[in-house]
Structure 1
Amino acid sequence: MSKSAKEIVKEFYNYNLVSEPGKALSLIHDDIELIWNSADGLTIMHYPEIVESFKEIQRSYDDLRVEVSHVLEDENFVTIRYKYYIRTIENQDEELGIAHFIAIWQIKDGKLYRGHQISQPVMSADDSSGTYNKVKY
């Protein structure tokens, strides 16, 4: 029995990109395209750029942890909301939240195929700390 699109995305995000990059890469389609809107602007990544970004993560961090808050599935599309936490090589005792993400993935051949991702750096007012600004309507 094959895995659902949601199970594939959850499995990918459960892998630690510092200690298990090969396992994460096994769930990435050879023809992957990731369109990423971040504070730095628009980045479009394909397989070679994603491999290089995984290598950079390994060089920069001692540990990387993801905290997933939402995973929604619609046929072969999955939306995931998550936050990354890191421990740097220089300060392994302190875990820091670094960014919030929302990604929409299309799954093809049991792998992540097309992604649209938006990220925002963690701020002092953060929804996971309960100190966010509440909007009045």
Structure 2
Amino acid sequence: MTAKELVVDFYKSDALINCEIMKEYIHPEITFDWNNSGGFSKFDYKDIINFTKELSKGYVRSKVKISHIVAEGDTISVRYSHLVKTIENPREDMLLGYFMVIWEIKDNKLFRGFQISQKP
């Protein structure tokens, strides 16, 4: 699987709300930097798993709509919208935000991520 295929597969999966699936995609030494409206956050493997567990408490479905993806070797840039279905309203998609992320792949896993996001 190419680095681009790995990233596309990751966003098509339920990894963002299922920590068992997430574990299949992330490198044990992952670091993830995220700039958002709340400030800056830095995540490691444990932080990502815990964050995924928290998301799974409120959302029953996660859907990513990729608008742009650019690959250069093991570095992939993705622009996407993230939609979810909440436990309270499982029939309606709710837009969480707009995201731009650069992923570095190592050992066929997500190894280093740099993300910025904006609320709708």
Give TM-score scaled by structure 2 length: 0.94
Where does 1:40-51 land on structure 2 (aligned, <5 Å)? 40-51=38-49
Question: Which residue is equivalent to 1:120?
Answer: 118
Percent sequence identity over aligned pairs: 34
RMSD: 1.3
Find the aligned partners of 2:27 and 2:8 in 1 and give their Cα distance.
Answer: 16
- Pick the structure with greater CA Rg: 1
Cα 1:107–1:100 shift into 2, 3 Å: same
Q: CA offsets per residue over residues 36-69 of structure 1, 9 Å max, x none? A: 0000000000000000111011101121111111
Where does 1:1-137 land on structure 2 (aligned, <5 Å)? 3-17=1-15, 20-122=18-120
Q: 4+ residue stretches of structure 1 with deviation over 6 A?
A: none
> Which amino acid is 1:74 matched to?
E
* Structure with greater proportional strand content: 2
Find the aligned partners of 1:95 and 1:4 in 2 and give their Cα distance.
Answer: 30
What residue ranges of structure 1 are gaps of 5+ in the alignment? 123-137
Q: In 2, are the aligned partners of 1:101 and 1:118 still within 8 Å (CA)?
A: yes
Cα deviation for residue 29 of structure 1 reads 0.2
Give TM-score scaled by structure 1 length: 0.83
Greater RCO (CA < 8 Å, at least 6 residues apart): 2
> Which amino acid is 1:28 matched to?
I
Q: In 1, are the aligned partners of 2:77 and 2:103 still within 8 Å (CA)?
A: yes
* Structure with greater proportional helix content: 2
Cα deviation for residue 19 of structure 1 reads 6.5
Find the aligned partners of 1:56 and 1:20 in 2 and give their Cα distance.
Answer: 10
